[in-house]
């Protein structure tokens, strides 16, 4: 039995969302699952593409296909659909402050930037809401001094 990352029920949820179906224009993909497993293997191990095991196919062909899907927006569409079904048994909110470089400040007339001024200088805060499984549900950028409590309502 091959060791896979995706369970059959997970694969069933995303199978029809992927490019290369018989109804799509162009070449019909016969190995979408193997390709997704290859990309997940790279993401899980952090290995370079050249170290991809031969069982997933030639590393360069897998990389080229990954690159094409990235430019076409296939990954973004897939992630949006998957994120539409969060496990909201409980929701966790956290924030992280990021310093803004002094030359990264907006012009004085622009107020739409997510930057705040404090004693430490300019900063931005990233607010993340994740579901019970730790999957991101929503990300917000605000000025650095903004509290997570205020953003939890959004």
Listed by start position, the domains of the chain span 8-83, 92-152
Structure token pair of residue 67? 């690159």
**pLDDT tens readout for residues 24-82:** 665 656 788 899 999 999 988 889 999 999 999 999 999 999 999 999 888 888 877 77
Q: How far is CA 41 from CA 49, 51, 58, 76, in A?
A: 10, 10, 14, 19
Q: Model-level pTM greater than 0.85?
A: no
């Amino acid at each position: 039995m091959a060791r896979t990352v995706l369970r059959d029920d997970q694969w069933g949820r995303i199978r029809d969302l992927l490019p290369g179906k018989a109804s799509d224009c162009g070449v019909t993909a016969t190995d979408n699952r193997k390709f997704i497993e290859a990309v997940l293997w790279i993401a899980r191990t952090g290995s370079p593409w050249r170290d991809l095991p031969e069982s997933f196919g030639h590393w360069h062909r897998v990389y080229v296909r990954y690159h094409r899907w990235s430019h076409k927006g296939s990954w973004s569409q897939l992630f949006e659909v998957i994120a539409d079904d969060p496990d909201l048994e409980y929701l966790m909110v956290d924030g992280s402050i990021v310093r803004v470089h002094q030359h990264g400040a907006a012009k004085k007339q622009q107020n739409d930037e997510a930057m705040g001024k404090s004693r430490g200088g300019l900063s931005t805060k990233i607010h993340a809401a994740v579901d019970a499984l730790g999957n991101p549900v929503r990300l917000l950028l605000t000025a650095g001094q903004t509290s997570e409590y205020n953003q939890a309502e959004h």
